[in-house]
Amino acid sequence: MHRGKGMKFVGDSRVPAERMPNIPKDYSEYPGKTEAFWPNFLLKEWMVGAVFLVGYLVLTVAHYSPLERIADPTDASYIPLPDWYFLFLYQLLKYEFASGDYTVLGAVVIPGIAFGALLLAPFLDRGPERRPIKRPIASGLMLLAIASIFWLTYESVSNHDWEAAAKQGAIVEERQIDTSHQGYEIWLQQGSCIGCHGENMQGNPGVAPSVFEHDYTKEEIMKIIVEGVPGMPGGLFAGTEEELEILAEYIAADGMPE
Ligand code: HEC
């Protein structure tokens, strides 16, 4: 008789060789008891995932995204700020050695070396040691990278003018104006005014305020339009004296004359 004939070999004598359909092998007697991937492990994973998913949903409902006004591609005065996880790269581009003529250095070369080294790390550092203290070069570079990222992010946050940023991104509700009024018709004929104050008369951030910004009287408004004010040249009005008066009255009535 041949040795082993009719005998089934299994990895562990405590695990029966016969597999029952849909019942996972019983690994319970192994040291460091494990469990079946399907369905036990996957079910746990899925439950944890569901908890986080619901958590995020609740968070997004409770805290709305800090949105700003609708993006305006013609507004060159708007200074965009990247999200927090890119702030360190953003800050890097502010230093002289990485900006201006050296933008390529700050935008491509320095981050390229840093992230390239991260990719190459498994090939560069092939020693068997796992303890950080026994790998001074790798550990040192990692600490340096973490320190630089924290420092640059901190610098970027503390150098940013948050008040100005809130102002330039503020959502301003558009005031209702009576566009069927003759005053508005006269306004539409004033190409120069529209260029600064906009067709809706309500200003452009960084260029001109809303014409309704202050509660001026009709006479004051006529004076402003004729003589100008700092930031706005006078003598731009194209029309008759009568039209000027109608427009000034219209503005004085906040665009809503009865
Ligand atoms: C070069 C851009 C520019 C143009 C063109 C211009 N404005 Fe102005 N306007 C301004 C600025 C800036 C101010 C705010 C000045 C200040 O700080 O008081 C202003 C202020 C005003 C105000 C006072 C608003 C307030 O409540 O403070 C009125 C009214 C006004 N403009 C009407 C006009 C009219 C009408 C025209 C066209 C004839 C015109 N503007 C053309 C830039 C402009």
- Residue 106 CB: number of other CB atoms within 10 A? 21
Query: Of 193, 202, 190, which is closest to residue 232 (Cα–Cα)?
Result: 193
Residue 205: CB within 6 Å of ligand 1?
A: no
Q: Give 207 Cα–ligand 1 centroid separation in angstroms.
A: 9
The predicted-structure confidence for 224-233, as pLDDT tens digits, reads as follows: 999 999 999 9
Residue 187 pLDDT class (50, 70, 90 cuts): very high
Handedness of CA 126, 127, 129, 133 (dihedral sign): negative
Instruction: State pLDDT tens for residues 71-105.
Output: 888 778 788 889 999 999 999 999 999 998 999 99
Q: Measured in angstroms, how far is the CA atom of residue 230 from the centroid of ligand 1?
A: 9
pLDDT classification of 175: cutoffs 50, 70, 90:
confident
pLDDT surpasses 90 at 171: no
So what's the pLDDT on residue 19?
66
Give yes or no for residue 12 having a pLDDT over 80. Answer: no
Largest CA distance in the chain: 124
Prior bond of 128 cis (ω within 30°): no
Residue 187 Cα, ligand 1 centroid: separation in angstroms? 12
- Quick one: what percent of the chain has pLDDT higher than 90? 52
Contacts 24+ apart (CB under 8 A), 206-214: 206/75, 206/77, 206/78, 206/168, 207/77, 208/232, 210/175, 211/251, 212/175, 212/251, 212/254, 212/255
167 vs 42, residue with greater confidence: 42
Assess whether the C-beta atom of 204 lies below 6 angstroms from ligand 1.
no
Res 1 pLDDT > 80? no
Is residue 103 in contact with ligand 1, taking CB distance under 6 Å? Answer: no
User: What mean pLDDT is predicted for residues 20-41?
Assistant: 71
Please tell me the least confidently modeled range out of 171-180, 192-201, 213-222: 171-180
Token pair belonging to 226: 């004729």
Using 50, 70 and 90 to split pLDDT, how confident is the model at 61? Answer: very high
Decide whether any atom of ligand 1 lies within 6 Å of the 237 Cβ: yes
Does any ligand 1 atom lie closer than 6 A to the CB of residue 251?
yes
For residue 172, report the distance from its CA to the centre of ligand 1, in Å. 18
